[in-house]
Amino acid sequence: MEITLPDGSRQELPDGSNALDLSRKLKKSLKGAAIAAKVNGELKDLTTSLNTGDEVHILTFEDREGKEIFWHSSAHVLAQAIVRLYPDAKPTIGPAIEEGFYYDFADLTISDTDFEKIEEEVKKIIKDRAQPQRIDYSSQQEALEVFGDNPFKKEMIEQLEEGLSAYQQDEFVDLCRGPHIPHLGLIQAFKVMKTSGAYWRANADNEQLTRVYATAYPDKKMLSKYLNFLEEAKRRDHRLIGKQLGLYSFHQEAPGMPFYHPNGMIIWEELMKFWEECHLEEGYVKIKTPIMLTQELWENSGHWDNYRENIYITEIDDRAYAIKPMNCPGGMLYYKENQYSYRQFPMRVAEIGLVHRHELSGALSGLFRVRCFHQDDAHIFMLPEQIPTEIQGVLSLSERMYSMFGLEYHLELSTRPEKSIGTDEQWDMATNGLKGALESGGYDYVVNEGDGAFYGPKIDIHIKDAIGRSWQCGTIQLDMMMPDRFDLNYIAEDGSKQRPVMIHRVIYGSIERFFGVIVEHFAGKFPMWLSPRQVRILAISDNHNNYAESVCEEMRKAGLRAETDLSAESVNKKVRQAQLDQVNYILVVGDREVQENTVTVRAANKVLGAKPVQQVIEVLVDEYKTRSPRKSEI
């Protein structure tokens, strides 16, 4: 029989062959061991029989879906080990997640002191190289006879009317749709990472479970590389760096609502200054709308019905109000204040808006997941034929802004979610508008099915930081529904009233989140234009204090953020402290510098030598104003 491969080539196989036979034939061309197969678009075990004409993709750990199957299979191993060690534990679910997996258990209490014991049991299971065997049940009753003593499995079975299946490895059987790796010997490295609490079905009204996180790899070097990556990420943790550098803080009196300190406000203001410069050049105007608006407005926008669980609600004068979770409805009211002509389009209206969204307390994480944050929103009102140009303009602006921070990015097109408003025709028009703009602009993108906003499809911009992590920040949403709900119109060329097309877009996204990303991206070593501590002048002794202060004053007058260290500590200790404080330029002054009106410059752990004060000021001012990289020569 003849099989078609992903590249369009064909392979001949004997009749009766399965995906494993194909993987053996393709072994030399595969990037690693075969894990499973994608047959005519469906994920299958390697034991699946093939038929002539099938389109088959053999998956390895290099494939995203291959990783997910590998990690879910590893989750079964984790559950098997825990049930062996703790027979009263009841397994619930164990999905693959980014860089690993977790498994939730009822009736289990463990701590990190138990991890080594669990890992030893995992090694025994893997050593047996068991081959997971699929079991298909013909009825709910048949499945309940196996899992009936586990109320969580019982609930899942009763909610499924067809497609009931499980996988067995040695004595362990677990409800699962599969597929799984061909044998457990493929798991060469396994590590239990942490444990936490979790609610069944993520509902706080349900029973609390114990969640065990772990990861696994087909190669020990891969695990070692991942653990090193985690150490580097830990070193860059924005919560720790923020505290060390005095940027911001978090308090129980306002969960999920950051407090910005003077040094943090310097970075914030520099981010805003850069944002405003870029947007002014692109023809945006700025507005500001209220933080609290009536229930009727949010009903009209669709947020009341589709987003209410995330909205903070209050009552004033017997009338319900919502603290805004989004800026869009306020922008619609601004538009309705005037009548516009097609000649005034595109109209680019921006707002740095403070929004509040109720996030579960367990989901809060520094600046990355907060309840109170700012968005650099903009709403672009336009004609339908202006869609490609405007979207490409936003993408170009995004590239300009991200490149200033040394951030690369990729694009994802997110389509209609299950919960949405609008007609099929509107969604098709909006989705095709985004696709057309991306394709006509020559942009690479991937499709993220079902992850759009409830009011429109969107392009998500995922930036990549210095250690390769991806962060979703920017978003471009094409909305043909909000203008309809708010009865927005413009005067067309023929004098008729028409609906404008509207883009919602953010580039920083949540400014708080972006702030956290760049703290970790730079590991606290900010470029000079962002740095709250640009220059520190160190006096060798008390005799040099006056000179140090005079140099500092000159630098401040030139617009630089300069400070002195006139303490009685040794110069070495002062230098070390300045390095810990992430000062960009350390200037040392002593007898020679006083006599010659110079400073000895130190930057990035390099001594650049004695330089005239005015020369240093001119170079540093230029670096600051042009947002240039650090100067190696002054």
Q: Which residues are catalytic?
A: 328, 357, 375, 377, 379, 458, 504
Tokens 């930057």: give the residue.
603
Q: Which residues of 260-298 are buried (b: 16+ CB within 10 A; e: fewer)?
A: bbebbebbbebbeebbeebbeeeebeebebeeebebebb
Return the closest-CA partner of residue 78 out of 193, 239, 248, 219.
Answer: 193
C-alpha 489 chain-centroid distance: 36
Q: Dig out the tokens for 428 from the structure.
A: 């098709």
Return the closest-CA partner of residue 210 out of 105, 91, 81.
Answer: 105
Q: Is 414 helix (H, G, I), strand (E, B) or coil?
A: strand
Total length of the chain: 634
Amino acid at 50: L
Rounded CA-CA distance 178/209 in Å is: 24
Rounded CA-CA distance 573/583 in Å is: 14
Q: Dig out the tokens for 630 from the structure.
A: 């650090």
- Answer left, alpha or beta for residue 468, where phi above 0 means left and psi between -120 and 50 means alpha: left
Amino acid at 443: Y
> Is residue 505 within 8 Å of residue 394, measured between CB atoms?
yes
C-alpha torsion sign, points 325, 328, 334, 336: negative
Return the closest-CA partner of residue 325 out of 355, 298, 304, 286.
Answer: 355
Q: Dig out the tokens for 162 from the structure.
A: 């067809």
Rounded CA-CA distance 632/60 in Å is: 46
Q: Which residues of 16-43 are buried (b: 16+ CB within 10 A; e: fewer)?
A: ebbbbbbbeeeeeeeeebbbbbbbeeeb
Q: Is 175 helix (H, G, I), strand (E, B) or coil?
A: strand
The torsion angles phi and psi of 467, rounded to 5 degrees, stand at -110, 20
Tokens 């308090």: give the residue.
251
Rounded CA-CA distance 408/468 in Å is: 9
Half-sphere exposure of 546 (CA within 13 A, CB side): 4
